[in-house]
Structure 1
Amino acid sequence: MNRPLRCLITDDEPFARKGLQRYVEQLAFLELRGLCADALELGEHLRRQPIDLVFLDIEMPQLSGLEFLRQAPGPHPQIIFTTAYEQYALAGYELDVLDYLVKPISFERFVRAAGKAYDYFRLRIQPEANPGYFFVKADGRLEKVVFADILFVEALENYVTIYTAERKIITHSTLKALLARLPVSTFVQTHKSYLVALQHVDFLEGNVLRLRQHQVPISKLMRPQVLTQLGLMDL
């Protein structure tokens, strides 16, 4: 798909909302559209704007997350439950939720759930084969960029630089917009300003990835996600 997933966070605990917000803001393929303190507020948001995905707590005052889903009329956004209670897992899966996250939620586990949601929408909305390339505007013309040629991408304000083995292309865009056009299974965000093609990583040393002659930093928050997608353990 060519845009981020529009999502809402619903939890009656301010600390939990803040933690999930921080996670969402670190993933370029998610776009936060609102924070809700209860299911009633969630219902108001859903009536006002289109939403793809809701991170939904279960035990909340007035109306629980389970009750909200059972009463919701018509089609509703995809749901990822976020709860401190494991005993609701079966009920959640009976309601066909995408995933079930038990608090405290690690960033690594959150990334896996969010990636599952992104893949669900990508395959549902764009089931046809991905062409493996896109075009960007650079130097007054449209340049073809093949996914397999990309080493990494660096962002600076409203511009990104796409590095390949032979050249670098500077285009007016954001990291979030670019990641939405790339397959999340082969590209990973290592830092708020960097995306990396996993197949071109030569080695990891500390918090730096080496790709040929280039070095790309890994932020502390992104490290679990990077190691997971590289198939490594954080020793």
Structure 2
Amino acid sequence: MNCIIIDDDELSRTVLEKFIKRTGFLNLMNSFKNAPDSIPYINRRGDIDLIFLDVEMPEMTGIDFMKSLKNLPQVIIISAKQKYALEAFEYDVTDYLLKPISYPRLYKAVDKAYNRYKENNNTKDKKDGFFIKNNSTLVRIKYTDIYWVEALENYVGINTKDSKYTIHFTMKAIENELPSSIFTRVHRSFIVNINKIDIIEENTIVLKVTKGIKTIPIGKSYRDKLMDDINLVAK
């Protein structure tokens, strides 16, 4: 789970960073000492799953911050005061922790967040596709029709056997949208549909498409995961 910290207390941020590093399923993306600086980052990335949020901060309180976001990720409140709890839970926060926090109490909260995260992903896996905007038309793309996705600077290209759709999205965000049961990241710039792979030659994947073949490089750091994801019956 990708997470960030928003807390004006430097000591609190340091403790949280230490605890997050101890928790294998958490990936700390960034840490902010005020809420306004975090908003452009959250909106730009689109892949933040969890926010550790203080309430009493200068410029913008944690409550006002939650009010300001249209798509609020899961939030765990980290506060020195209990009086904000009732209002915080109106925004469906995952948990409310009082400072100073202990690692066992934090782990209990993030485990709850992780279970919610997995439930959301399971729901996503039951869908069979999504819609994208193509000019003035909404086009439905089935997961099973996608062969590969590639990074194109600030866009991604979604490739089917016969067509290509370019949308304004990050690779991480589209990776989160695609079901992990049939898609895997094989390179910093490529995600492939496992069921469309015809041949793997050393560090290259070969896909058969209408106009011939498409070759995709396998990044060194992604190869082991690819070998785990495919149905390899003999080594």
TM-score if structure 2 supplies the norm length? Answer: 0.54
Partner Cα distance (1:74, 1:198) in 2: 34
> Which residue, 96, 102, 115 being the options, matches 1:68?
102
TM-score if structure 1 supplies the norm length? Answer: 0.54
Mapping of residues 140-159 of structure 1, within 5 Å: 140-159=136-155
Q: Aligned residues: percent identity?
A: 23
CA, structure 1 residues 7+190, in 2 after alignment: closer, same or farther (shift >3 Å)? farther
CA, structure 1 residues 152+73, in 2 after alignment: closer, same or farther (shift >3 Å)? closer
Does the CA-based 8 Å contact 1:137-1:172 persist in structure 2?
no
Mapping of residues 161-176 of structure 1, within 5 Å: 161-176=157-172
Q: Which amino acid aligns with 1:228?
A: D
Secondary structure (helix, strand or coil) at the match of 2:109 reads coil
Secondary structure (helix, strand or coil) at the match of 1:204 reads strand
Q: Is 1:160 matched up with 2:156?
A: yes
Partner Cα distance (1:75, 1:138) in 2: 43
Q: Is 1:46 matched up with 2:79?
A: no
Match of 2:71 in 1: none
Partner Cα distance (1:142, 1:181) in 2: 17
Match of 1:139 in 2: 135
Secondary structure (helix, strand or coil) at the match of 2:228 reads helix
What are the superposed Cα offsets for residues 11-63 of structure 1, whole Å, 9 maximum, x if unpaired?
49xxxx6xx9xx99xxxx9672449xxxxxxxxx83438568xxxxxxxxxxx
Match of 1:124 in 2: 119
> What's the C-alpha RMSD, in Å, of the aligned pairs?
3.9
CA, structure 1 residues 126+200, in 2 after alignment: closer, same or farther (shift >3 Å)? closer
Partner Cα distance (1:228, 1:127) in 2: 20
Match of 1:113 in 2: none
Q: Which amino acid aligns with 1:68?
A: S
Does the CA-based 8 Å contact 1:227-1:233 persist in structure 2?
no
Mapping of residues 2-21 of structure 1, within 5 Å: 5-6=2-3, 10-11=17-18
1:140 shift after superposition:
3.4
Match of 1:183 in 2: 179
Does the CA-based 8 Å contact 1:51-1:77 persist in structure 2?
no
Partner Cα distance (1:183, 1:157) in 2: 23
1:132 shift after superposition:
0.7
Partner Cα distance (1:74, 1:190) in 2: 31
Instruction: Give the paired residue count.
Output: 158
Match of 2:218 in 1: 218
Q: Which amino acid aligns with 1:134?
A: F
Q: Which amino acid aligns with 1:124?
A: E
Partner Cα distance (1:181, 1:164) in 2: 16
CA, structure 1 residues 74+32, in 2 after alignment: closer, same or farther (shift >3 Å)? closer
What are the superposed Cα offsets for residues 135-192 of structure 1, whole Å, 9 maximum, x if unpaired?
1122332211100000000111111111111211111111111111111121101111
CA, structure 1 residues 133+122, in 2 after alignment: closer, same or farther (shift >3 Å)? farther
Does the CA-based 8 Å contact 2:154-2:169 persist in structure 1?
yes
Partner Cα distance (2:165, 2:188) in 1: 19
Unaligned runs of 5+ in 1: 36-44, 53-66, 80-97, 99-116
Secondary structure (helix, strand or coil) at the match of 2:177 reads coil
1:204 shift after superposition:
0.6
Partner Cα distance (1:225, 1:127) in 2: 20
Does the CA-based 8 Å contact 1:209-1:218 persist in structure 2?
yes
